[in-house]
Amino acid sequence: MNIIRVLVIDDSAFMRKILSDMLASDPRIEVVGTARNGEDGLHKIKQLSPDVITLDVQMPVMDGITALKEIMQTHPIPVVMLSSVTEDATIKTIQAISSGAVDFIAKPSGAISIDIETMKQEIIHKVITASMVKLPRQQKASKKQIPIKEPIKELANYHQTIVAIGASTGGPRALQHIVEQLPKNLAAAVLVVQHMPAGFTKSLAERLNLKSELLVKEAEHGERLQHGVVYIAPGGWHMKLSQIGTSIFIDLTEEDPLRGHRPSVDMLFTSVAPLQEVNKIAVILTGMGNDGTDGIKNLKKSDDRTYVIAESEETAIVYGMPKAAMATNLVNKQVPLDEVSRLITKLV
């Protein structure tokens, strides 16, 4: 068993101690050092060559965002960000995830002793996951348009089209890549479930909105779906769809997490399945686990013309969710991230 060597970078001596103790409690992890800010961290990276870094967002001397950019340029290493749930910190965290960080953890907000055990399991899990990922390359939309060769006839000629997307670890970066390439006249509503806690999805929606010709927003309970809008499920809420006549509405619910997730990709996909006279496209992007597989089965069972797309292993930061989708034998096409938007546009 290879031991995962971790460097903890945080300006708080208390947090450095807490994080080090948490990580060291797992036999698969060794904390090889700590650093008090980004500048100190960059020196320690050269000395210690860690496998994974935990990096605080807000620090004096050199903050986490500046340090992350330097790490990605000079010593590309999987990074897990640590963030408080303040508006400024959530904005910076989403920026960090879009700039190459693998994942993030929200720091305990209330009585720290109550939240510590939950945080311990989460940070161990995310550090181990980070140690296994392929670092994202700087992906830019290819200027050379690769044609989608085979004719696509699976969709019916309905007036309404829904594109439902599920993503987890590495998702914000993949989503940014996709929404940047979708045309502003897209005749479809796009619904996104990204595994992310409450407080961060609003910042994600705002960042994606700046990058997209479409309107990107955090979904609201009861709103009617419109073409040309990307709806992000709020952290901590399931996003489902309901139909009244030809109108389709968003339902946000606080039902129990499904397989540990709220929002859940399975919950969204399954709610799309019974919709009548709607073209359905389901997309599974990078992420750990198998969220979305039951939803794909329900979609295909309800309407075998549903078109399912999975991100290919070559671009997925974590190939868990797309691999599980492929194992259903219900995926119509597996494509690299750069081709997802073009395929959606061609289908619509």
The yes-or-no answer on residue 304 being catalytic is: no
Q: In whole angstroms, what is the distance from residue 122 CA to residue 254 CA?
A: 21
Question: Do the Cβ atoms of 65 and 97 come closer than 8 Å?
Answer: no
Of 217, 181, 110, 219, the residue nearest 338 (C-alpha): 181
Residues 10, 103, 291, 338: which is the catalytic one? 291
Question: Do the Cβ atoms of 208 and 219 come closer than 8 Å?
Answer: no
Of 183, 93, 73, the residue nearest 138 (C-alpha): 73
Q: How far does CA 93 lie from the centroid of its chain? A: 13
Q: In whole angstroms, what is the distance from residue 339 CA to residue 247 CA?
A: 30
Q: Within 13 Å, how many C-alpha atoms sit on residue 168's CB side?
A: 22
Strand duo 160-167 + 189-194: pairing: parallel
Q: In whole angstroms, what is the distance from residue 209 CA to residue 59 CA?
A: 28
User: Hey, is 310 helix, strand or coil?
Assistant: strand
The yes-or-no answer on residue 168 being catalytic is: yes
Burial 208-224 (b: 16+ CB within 10 A, else e): bbeebebebbbbeeeee
CA angle 144, 145, 150 (to 5 degrees): 140
Q: In whole angstroms, what is the distance from residue 62 CA to residue 58 CA?
A: 9
Residues 195, 212, 261, 264: which is the catalytic one? 195
| Ordered DSSP codes for 242-290 | EEETTEEEEEEE-PPPBTTBSS-HHHHHHHHTT-SSEEEEEEE-S-SS-
The yes-or-no answer on residue 271 being catalytic is: no
Instruction: Name the residue with tokens 């796009």.
Output: 190
Query: What are the catalytic residues?
Result: 168, 195, 291
